[in-house]
Amino acid sequence: MRLKEKDRLKPKKKEKKDPSALKEREVPQHPSCLFFQYNTQLGPPYHILVDTNFINFSIKAKLDLVQSMMDCLYAKCIPCITDCVMAEIEKLGQKYRVALRIAKDPRFDRLPCTHKGTYADDCLVQRVTQHKCYIVATVDRDLKRRIRKIPGVPIMYISNHRIQHRADAG
């Protein structure tokens, strides 16, 4: 039997994509261990990664860094400083010698860097994505924006001459 004209399959027309339509994209699922009630790595004593401008702003606000961190979190805090941040402070020169003296405080933990280059922001973001046990202390807007995209990483900052922290994860 022959197929009649009306019974034949018609060739499919290519649909034009509507630019105003919502585009579906795959959003990576984040493990529940990143959220604070499950994240046992993020507990006292808190390890706080300190950025260069955080030290400078704490000097301007006349804050004792370690003491005001403890007042903010109500727990023991261990400020950590990477080699990149230390190099950045040293590059700033004579004007920031007080910041350098604070960074060399024995209460601060020194974290060695294994990567190439000395760009501190990339270094901090890389370290925080690998290990979810740090709080990042920074005043830099761009760095804060980058860190907010990483789930489970709290941010500490200075505003109104006080240290405050923000935890965006759960």
- Does the model's pTM come out above 0.85? no
Q: What is the pLDDT of residue 38?
A: 61
Q: What is the pLDDT of residue 170?
A: 40
Task: With both helix axes pointing from N to C terminus, report the angle between 65-73 and 52-60 in degrees, rounded to the nearest 10.
Answer: 100
The closest of 42, 47, 38 to 132, measured between CA atoms, is 42
Q: Identify the weakest region by mean pLDDT among 39-48, 103-112, 125-134.
A: 39-48
Residue 121 vs residue 11, higher pLDDT: 121
In whole angstroms, give the CA distance from residue 152 to residue 34: 5
Q: How confident is the model at residue 2 (pLDDT cuts 50, 70, 90)?
A: confident
Q: What is the pLDDT of residue 115?
A: 80
Residue 162 vs residue 169, higher pLDDT: 162
Q: What is the pLDDT of residues 32-86, one digit of tens each?
A: 556 566 666 777 888 999 999 999 999 998 888 899 989 988 889 999 999 988 9
In whole angstroms, give the CA distance from residue 85 to residue 102: 12
Ranges of each domain in the chain: 50-166
Between the alpha carbon of residue 89 and those of residues 97, 109, 131, 150, the distances in Å are: 8, 16, 24, 26
Contact by Cβ (8 Å): 137, 50: yes
Q: What is the pLDDT of residue 110?
A: 92
Q: Residue 111: beta bridge partners?
A: 82
Q: Residue 48: beta bridge partners?
A: 79, 135
Enclosing H/E stretch for 158 = strand 155-159
Is the peptide bond between 154 and the residue preceding it cis, with omega within 30 degrees of 0?
Answer: no
Average pLDDT over residues 18-42: 63
Q: Among residues of the chain, what percentage have pLDDT more than 90?
A: 19
In whole angstroms, give the CA distance from residue 28 to residue 78: 32
Region of residue 160 (left: phi > 0; alpha: psi -120 to 50; beta: else) = left
Contact by Cβ (8 Å): 59, 99: yes
Architecture of the domain delimited by 50-166:
3-Layer(aba) Sandwich (3.40)
